[in-house]
Amino acid sequence: MVDSISTEPAPVALDAEQPNSGPAQGLRLVVGWHVAGAAASVAMMLLANRSGDEELPATIGVFLRVFAAASFAAHVAAAVGVSQRRRWGRTVSLVVSYLVFVVAAVAAVHQLGGFTAIGSLGEGLSKAVVPFIVVAVGLLWVLVAGQIGASRPAAPGPRQLRRAGWVVTGIGSAWFVVAADPTGMLSAFFERIVQPVTIATLVLALVAFAATRFMWNREIGRIFGTTASVERTLTGLAFLSPNLLGFLFFFAGPVLFSLVVSFYDWKTTGTGRSFIGIDNYVEALSLDFASASAPGAGVEVLKANYQVLMHLDWFGQNWVIGARDVTFWLSLRNIVVFLALAVPLSVLPALGLSSILASQLRGMKIFRAVYFIPSVAGVIGVAIIWGQLFQSTVGWINYLIKRAGDLLPFVDAPDQGQAWLSSNSTALLAMVIVFAWMSFGFNTVLYLAGHQAIPKELYEAAEIDGARAWKIFRRITVPQLRNTTFYVLITTSILALQLFDIVWILSTPQPGGPDNATMTPVIALYNEAFKDNNRGYASALAWVLFAIIFVFTFAQFRRDREGATGGIA
C-alpha cells in the first residue's frame, strides 16, 4: 500500500478542487483502508458471537463486541468523511488510524513475546554485568564530554573525547550482546514472527501507520480545510497520547473495573461470579451491639454470622460489640490507634527541628540531609534493621533501656527483655516508632519549605520587641506554618492509613500478628485478595479504605481552594 502511493504513475486529476493528483490517489486508498477496516470489524463481531462464552471469558467477549462495534462505526464514519472531504473527515480518519496502529503494534509486540522478553532480559543482564557496566561508563563518558564540549564548542578535544566515549559504549554493547547470549530469545522471536496471526497484525499496524502518516500531512489538512485550532488539538493529543493511552489502560480502566468487581461475589476459585449488589460492603461494615447480662458474654447474644469484636463496660452495663468481619474492624481500630500515635510523633519533631534548621546556623544542610536519609533508604531494609534492634534478648533497644535503668533511678527496666514484636501490647507501638523514625525527616523538609514563606519582618519586629525564642516560636512560627502543618498532617495520615510494608516485615508470627495486634486494613485486604482469593470482597475493602482516605484528601482539597480564593495566602 505504501509502495503504491509512490510507484504508480500519477493519474489525471479528477477533481477540480485538487490540482495535485497525489493526494487524491492517496485519499482514495485511505477510504479503501477504512472500508476494509469496517468489514474486518464486522468479521470480528461475527467471530466473537460464534465462539460462545464457554471459550472466551465473559468479560473479554463483551469487550470484543463493544470494541468491534465501535471500530465498525468509526471506520464507516472515517470512510464517509474522507470520501466526501468533510472537515471532520480527516480528524476521524486520523484518530481511527492512529488508534488501530497503536493497538495493532502493541498486539504484535505482545504476540512476538516482546513484553515477556523483558523477563529474559533480566537473565541476560545477570550474565553480562561487566559489559553492562562498561556500557554505562561509556554513556556517562559521552554525557560528561558533551557537557565539556557545550561550554567550548570550538575546541576539538572534547569532540574527540566524546567520540572515544561512543567507541567505549559500542564495544561494551557488542560485548554485552555476546555475553548475554540472545540466541534463545532470537529463535523464539523467529518462530513467532512466521505465524500468520502475527504477520497479519504486523501488516495491519504498518497499513494503519501509513494511513496516519499520510493523513497527518499539512497538505492534506489544507484539502480538508482543517482550522489551526483543530490542528493544535491533534498535535496536543498526539504528544499526550503515549501517556494518556497508558493512563487509561493501566489506571482509569482498572479503577473502574475495581468498582464493578466490588459489587460481585468474585472468587478466583470455583465458577461463582455473581452480582450481589452492596452485599460485600454490608459484610465488611456490619456491626451489632448487644447488651449482655454478665461480663464476658460471647457470641450467643449476637445475631447470626456475627463474631465478638470487643466488650464494653459502659455505666455498669455490659455491652458486646460484634462484627461480621472482625479482622477488618480490628484493622480499623489498629489503624486509628496507629494514626493517633504515629502522626504526632512524626509531625511534632519535624515542626520543632525545622524551626531550628531554618535558622542560618552552620551545618544545617548536613543535618537536613541526614534526617532525610531514612525516608529514602527503602522500607524493607529499614524494617529488617529495626527487627534486629527490637530483638528481645540481644537487641539494642532493650539493652539501652537496661543501661538507662542502671544509670537513672526512675527508669524501671524489666529484668526480662521486652519482647517488643511478639507481645500484643507493644507490637503496634514498635510499628509506630519505625514509621515515625522513617517519616519525620521528610516532614521536616516540607516544613522548611513553609518557613521560607514566612516574612522575615515578623521575626525582626519580634526581636526588636525583645521577645524570647519560645514566644516567637509560639506566636509567629506556629501560626504562620498553619497551612504547612495542615498539609503535613494530611499527607502523613494518608500514608499511615496505607501501612503495609513495615508490618509485613516486622510482625510475627504472621503478617498482622500477634493475634491481629498489628493487623492493618491493607494487610487484611491483601489476605482477602491473594490468600483467600476473594477478589470481589477485597475490592469492596479497597473502596471502603479509599472512602476513609478520601475524607483526608478532600479536606486538603477544600483547604487549597479556600487558600486560592482569598484565604490565608
Partner 1 sequence: MSVKRKGPRATAVRVATYALLITVAIIVLFPFVVAVSTSLKRNTDIFTYPPSLVPRTVTTVTDPDLGLENATVYELPGSDGQFALVESDVPVAEFRRIDDPEVIIALPPDQGVETDRTTVVDGDEETIYLVEVDGSEVEVFRARLTVGGLFQPLDGEGDSESVVELVNLATPERVFGPRFENFSQVVTEKNLGRSLTNTVLVTIAVVVGQIVTSVLGGYAFARIDFRGRDRLFLLYLGSVMIPFVVLIIPLFQLMLQLGWTDNLVALIIPFVFTAYGTFLMRQFFLGIPKEIEEAALIDGASRATTLWKVMVPLARPAIATLATFGFLYAWNSFFWPLVIINSGNPDNGLLTLTLATLGGRSSTDTNLVFAGAVLAMTPPILVFLFAQRYFVENSASSGLK
Residues 348-387 that bind partner 1 (CB under 8 A): 349, 353, 355-361, 363, 367-374, 376-382, 384-387
> 3-state DSSP: the chain helix, strand, coil percent, rounded to 5?
70, 5, 25
| CB contact burial 295-309 (16+ within 10 A = b; e otherwise) | eebeeebbeeebebb
Q: Does 504 bind partner 1 (CB under 8 A)?
A: yes
Q: Least distance to partner 1 from the beta carbon of 196, Å?
A: 20
Cβ(264)–Cβ(536) below 8 Å: yes
Q: Which helix (H) or strand (E) holds 436?
A: helix 427-452
**Nearer to partner 1 by C-beta: 319 or 372?**
372
Among 414, 550, 561, 563, binds partner 1 (CB under 8 A): 550
**DSSP 8-class letter at 304:** T
Structural contact between residues 309 and 287, judged by C-beta atoms closer than 8 angstroms: yes
DSSP letter for each residue of 246-269: HHIIIIIHHHHHHHHHTTEEEBSS
212 lies in the binding site for partner 1 (CB under 8 A): no
Query: What part of residues 400-459 is at the interface with partner 1 (CB under 8 A)?
Result: 437, 441-442, 445-446, 448-449, 459
Q: Which of residues 270-329 bind partner 1 (CB under 8 A)?
A: none
Residue closer to partner 1 by CB (options 166, 473) is: 473
Measured CA to CA, the distance from residue 237 to residue 247 in angstroms comes to 13
Enumerate the β-bridge partners of residue 62.
none
Among 52, 122, 153, 270, binds partner 1 (CB under 8 A): 122
Q: Which of 14, 46, 70, 121 binds partner 1 (CB under 8 A)?
A: 121
Q: Give the Å distances, CA to CA, from 242 to 105, 233, 388.
A: 13, 15, 45
- Cβ nearer to partner 1, comparing 378 with 567: 378
Work out whether 464 is an interface residue with partner 1 (CB under 8 A): no
Least distance to partner 1 from the beta carbon of 70, Å? 19
> Which CB sits closer to partner 1, 121 or 282?
121
Site for partner 1 in 54-83 (CB under 8 A): 60
Q: Which is nearer to partner 1, 39 or 449 (CB)?
A: 449
Size of the site for partner 1 (CB under 8 A): 112
Q: How far, CA to CA in Å, does 396 sit from each of 35, 133, 386?
A: 75, 39, 10
Tell whether omega for the bond before 511 is within 30 degrees of 0, i.e. cis. Answer: no
Out of 509, 565, 566, 569, which residue is the one contacting partner 1 (CB under 8 A)? 509
Number of H helices, E strands in the chain: 25, 5
Q: Between 10 and 404, whose beta carbon lies closer to partner 1?
A: 404
Within the chain, what is the greatest distance between any pair of CA atoms? 106
Q: Which of 11, 157, 184, 246: binder of partner 1 (CB under 8 A)?
A: 246
**DSSP letter, residue 314:** E
Q: Of the ranges 21-29, 76-84, 311-319, 539-547, which one interacts with partner 1 (CB under 8 A)?
A: 539-547
| Of 87 and 303, CB closest to partner 1 | 87
Q: How far is the CB of 71 from partner 1 (least distance, A)?
A: 20
